[in-house]
């Protein structure tokens, strides 16, 4: 997702209201007093606006964030010679021990599932005389302020005051806690901004009712911190009221213009309503005519249904008669088929007998022809014998076989 779109995960300047921007910028101006000529690390720098603010006082500032789109946005929008941005996790920083004099982590710790590792990493990269400034929203106030929106989907763990303080003291021996709240006031400021004096407010502050917790942590005792009040340009109440009145007047003019447009649209709607009413009446008259025609057609349908019912009885009787006639014809055809089948079988037998007789006749004919041939041969032999002079001489002498007479 593009970092130029505010989703609630990280702040994008120009995409949020002044109150939300001020409460974030206030923390960076709070920490800027500790950044002069120092090596600074901004853990979870997001889109880089805070790191750029610290860079105006620090020796150099390194902004670290795990989201590549946030680092890309920061590098494109905030370019200073002593400002660097890197993609890195707050729980595993790519820096040696004691690399920074000041480490800040604003509204980051609640976004981490393994949030204790952030505190350990901050202590590791911090010098012995360095300071760690960390902030987080008050769980009680934050839950109430979100109302119907419900829990922030980007928060893994939100802190109450005592839990936050105890968690910090387990890692850092020295912890100074501050309660961050929105305030209204009238400020009398000198024209010369170089005085740098801080403002003081009166009244008791209660952790449970505070908006955010801010802590300055160190390895060694911290000096007493005075009350610090951040007054952004948008903190001028009278000017804000004037702007608010101007916005209300502009909104009222817009609403009047909208009302005039709405009245015109209302007249147009009335005209359309009258036209639609007339059209509806015409449609109703046409529908009534259709109803009358439909009733007439329905009556005709009833008559046709009656005629059809009468004709159906005759058709059913005729169908039964035809079915009976067809059944008789089928029975006759079946009987005829049976008789024809019997005749065909009888003829087939006769044909088989005829074939047998033909074969037998052919055999007898062959046998008769063979006998005839044998007879002819015998007759020829007999003729030869008779013609033999030896037979003739034997006959005369009374010798030899007696041959039959022809």
Residues with Cβ within 8 Å of residue 34, at least 6 apart in sequence:
102, 131, 133, 216
Instruction: Output the pLDDT for position 191.
Output: 43
Number of H helices and number of E strands within the chain? 8, 7
How confident is the model at residue 195, as a pLDDT?
45
The answer as to whether 351 is a domain residue is no
Taking the chain, what is the end-to-end CA distance rounded to the nearest angstrom?
142
Q: Is residue 1 part of a domain?
A: no
Averaged pLDDT, 396-402: 68
pLDDT at 18 over 70: no
Residue 199's pLDDT is: 45
Say how far apart CA 278 and CA 357 lie, in whole Å.
108
Asked whether residue 365 is assigned to any structural domain, the reply reads no
Q: What is the DSSP letter of 189?
A: -
Tell me the per-residue pLDDT of 295-314, one tens digit each, with 9 for 90 and over.
Answer: 888 888 888 888 888 788 87
The answer to the question of residue 258 being in a domain is no
C-alpha distances (whole Å) from 82 to each of 22, 52, 57, 62, 108 are 24, 9, 10, 8, 23
Per-residue pLDDT, 263: 86
Structurally, the chain folds into a number of domains equal to 1
- The answer, yes or no, to whether residue 175 has pLDDT greater than 50, is yes
pTM of full prediction above 0.85: no
Q: Report yes or no on 170 lying in a domain.
A: yes
226-278 pLDDT, tens per residue?
666 766 655 554 455 555 566 777 878 888 888 888 888 888 888 898 888 88
Residue 86 Ramachandran class (φ > 0 left, ψ -120 to 50 alpha, else beta): beta
Does 291 reside within a domain?
no
67 occurs within a structural domain: yes
CA distance 370 to 376: 10
Q: Check residue 188 and give its pLDDT.
A: 47
Q: Which residue has the higher pLDDT, 405 or 256?
A: 256
Confidence of residue 196 (pLDDT cuts 50, 70, 90): very low
Alpha-carbon distance values, 281 to 176, 276, 286, 289, 358 (Å): 82, 9, 9, 12, 104
Q: Is residue 130 situated within a structural domain? A: yes
pLDDT digits (tens, 9 = 90+) for 127-140: 999 999 999 988 87
Predicted local distance difference test score (pLDDT) of residue 377? 87
Give the model's confidence band at 353: pLDDT under 50 very low, under 70 low, under 90 confident, else very high: confident
Which tokens is 365 given?
A: 């004919």
Per the structure, the complete domain to which residue 116 belongs is given by 18-234
**CATH assignment at residue 62:** 3.40.50.150
């Amino acid at each position: 997702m593009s970092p130029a779109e505010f989703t609630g995960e990280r702040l994008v300047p120009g995409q949020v209201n002044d109150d939300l921007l001020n409460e974030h910028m206030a923390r960076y101006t709070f920490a800027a007093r500790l950044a002069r000529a120092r090596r600074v690390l901004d853990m979870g720098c997001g889109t880089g606006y805070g790191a750029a603010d610290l860079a105006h006082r620090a020796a150099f500032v390194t902004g670290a964030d795990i989201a590549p789109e946030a680092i890309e946005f920061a590098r494109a929008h905030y370019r200073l010679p002593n400002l660097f941005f890197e993609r890195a996790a707050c729980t595993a920083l790519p820096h040696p021990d004691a690399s920074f004099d000041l480490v800040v982590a604003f509204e980051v710790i609640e976004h981490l599932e393994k949030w204790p590792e952030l505190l350990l990493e901050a202590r590791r990269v911090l010098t012995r005389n360095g300071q760690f400034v960390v902030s987080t929203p008050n769980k009680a106030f934050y839950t109430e302020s979100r109302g119907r929106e419900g829990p922030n989907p980007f928060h893994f763990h939100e802190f109450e005051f005592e839990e936050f303080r105890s968690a910090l003291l387990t890692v850092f021996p020295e912890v100074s806690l501050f309660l961050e709240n929105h305030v209204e006031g009238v400020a009398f400021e000198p024209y010369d901004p170089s005085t740098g004096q801080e403002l003081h407010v009166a009244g008791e502050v209660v952790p449970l009712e505070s908006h955010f917790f801010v802590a300055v942590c160190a390895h060694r005792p911290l000096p007493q911190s005075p009350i610090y009040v951040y007054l952004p340009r948008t903190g001028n109440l009278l000017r804000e009221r004037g702007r608010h009145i101007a916005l209300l007047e502009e909104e009222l003019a817009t609403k009047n213009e909208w009302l005039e447009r709405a009245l015109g649209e209302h007249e147009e709607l009335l005209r359309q309503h009258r036209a639609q009413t007339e059209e509806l009446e015409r449609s109703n008259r046409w529908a009534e005519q259709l109803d009358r025609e439909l009733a007439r057609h329905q009556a005709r349908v009833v008559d046709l249904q009656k005629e059809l019912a009468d004709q159906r009885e005759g058709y059913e009787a005729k169908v039964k008669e035809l079915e009976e006639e067809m059944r008789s014809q089928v029975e006759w055809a079946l009987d005829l088929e049976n008789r024809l089948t019997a005749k065909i079988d009888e003829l087939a037998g006769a044909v088989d007998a005829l074939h047998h007789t033909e074969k037998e006749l052919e055999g007898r004919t062959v046998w008769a022809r063979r006998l005839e041939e044998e007879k002819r041969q015998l007759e020829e032999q007999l003729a030869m014998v008779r013609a033999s002079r030896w037979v003739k001489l034997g006959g005369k002498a009374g010798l030899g076989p007696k041959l039959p007479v022809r």
